[in-house]
């Protein structure tokens, strides 16, 4: 039989059990006391010190991920799995997709800049897509609910393109890369930046340490597993951190924060695609 006294309670409503905590000060808050931040949530006192923000509804934070709450995440999973299954059923189609849409450096150099995005929807094997889609399911839904579906789409695509740009610039001259890893590391980068900003609180410090450990493990994997494009991982990670930084500096505490986040993310995406098309 569990002891309810071990369950934290809202600091403003002691009768309400909650596992939510303020991303700024670390105090536990119930959904009714939770306000939206660029990534995470804040208590009323921290919000008042920074200006009014949008209230987070309880189900948007605590509910199980679903298509209703995270439509972009579930659509991305469906699209990636469908493309992989098509290639699995028809090897000739898979080969054609790789020829035309993989991030192949000579083709990008010849002007096929769109490969920097299309490669994120191709995967090289069953474990590859299973791992990537699980990663997306873990790190994607809550970020989409926090920043909005359009902004989430922007950071995902920008990070995918950022990963391809890093491979193109720093990889072998004849490199060929596929997979959503760059995009996923971009989502990870956004969470890592948020945790770094909140590291002064107990909750933020714990989150930062956990994400740091996960990052170190993933950075070490190319030492033991061949054919992992670590350059795409770093490029996506850097892109996600940059977008999250711009969200914090430009969009936070604005009444139109969600729209501003979307504009910022897609502006970064366009900038990266321009680089792929011109350098």
**Catalytic positions, written as ranges:** 181, 233
How far is residue 252's CA from residue 117's CA, in Å, rounded to a whole number?
28
Phi/psi region, residue 223 (left: phi>0; alpha: psi -120 to 50; beta: rest), is: alpha
For residue 35, what are the β-bridge partners? 42, 55
How far is residue 27's CA from residue 36's CA, in Å, rounded to a whole number?
15
Please state the φ and ψ torsions of residue 42, each to the nearest 5 degrees. Answer: -130, 160
Nearest alpha carbon to residue 117 among 246, 255, 273? 273
* Cβ atoms of 25 and 48 closer than 8 Å: no
The percent of the chain in helix, strand and coil, each rounded to the nearest 5, is 65, 5, 30
How far is residue 244's CA from residue 4's CA, in Å, rounded to a whole number?
37
Which residue, chain included where needed, has tokens 């977008």? 243
Q: What is the CA 59 to chain-centroid distance, rounded?
A: 21
């Amino acid at each position: 039989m569990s002891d309810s006294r071990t369950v934290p309670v809202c600091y403003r409503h002691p009768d309400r059990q909650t596992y939510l905590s303020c991303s700024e000060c670390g105090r536990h808050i119930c959904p009714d006391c939770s306000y939206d931040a660029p990534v995470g949530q804040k208590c009323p006192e921290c919000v008042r010190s920074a200006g009014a923000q949008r209230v987070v509804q309880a189900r948007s934070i605590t509910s199980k991920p679903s298509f209703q709450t995270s439509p972009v995440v579930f659509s991305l999973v469906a699209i990636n799995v469908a493309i992989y299954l098509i290639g699995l059923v028809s090897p000739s189609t898979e080969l054609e997709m790789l020829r035309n849409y993989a991030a192949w450096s000579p083709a990008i150099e010849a002007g096929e800049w769109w490969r920097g995005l299309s490669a994120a929807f191709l995967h090289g094997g069953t474990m590859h897509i299973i791992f990537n889609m699980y990663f997306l399911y873990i790190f994607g839904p809550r970020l989409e609910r926090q920043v909005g579906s359009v902004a989430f789409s922007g950071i995902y695509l920008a990070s995918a393109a950022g990963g391809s740009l890093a491979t193109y610039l720093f990889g072998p001259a004849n490199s060929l890369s596929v997979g959503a890893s760059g995009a996923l590391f971009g989502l990870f980068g956004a969470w890592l930046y948020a945790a770094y900003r909140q590291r002064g609180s107990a909750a933020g410090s714990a989150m930062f340490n956990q994400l740091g450990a996960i990052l170190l493990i993933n950075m070490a994997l190319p030492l033991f597993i061949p054919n992992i494009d670590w350059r795409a991982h770093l490029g996506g990670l850097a892109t996600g951190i940059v977008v999250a930084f711009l969200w914090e500096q430009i969009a936070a505490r604005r009444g139109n924060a969600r729209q501003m986040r979307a504009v910022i993310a897609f502006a970064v995406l366009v900038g990266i695609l321009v680089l792929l098309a011109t350098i």
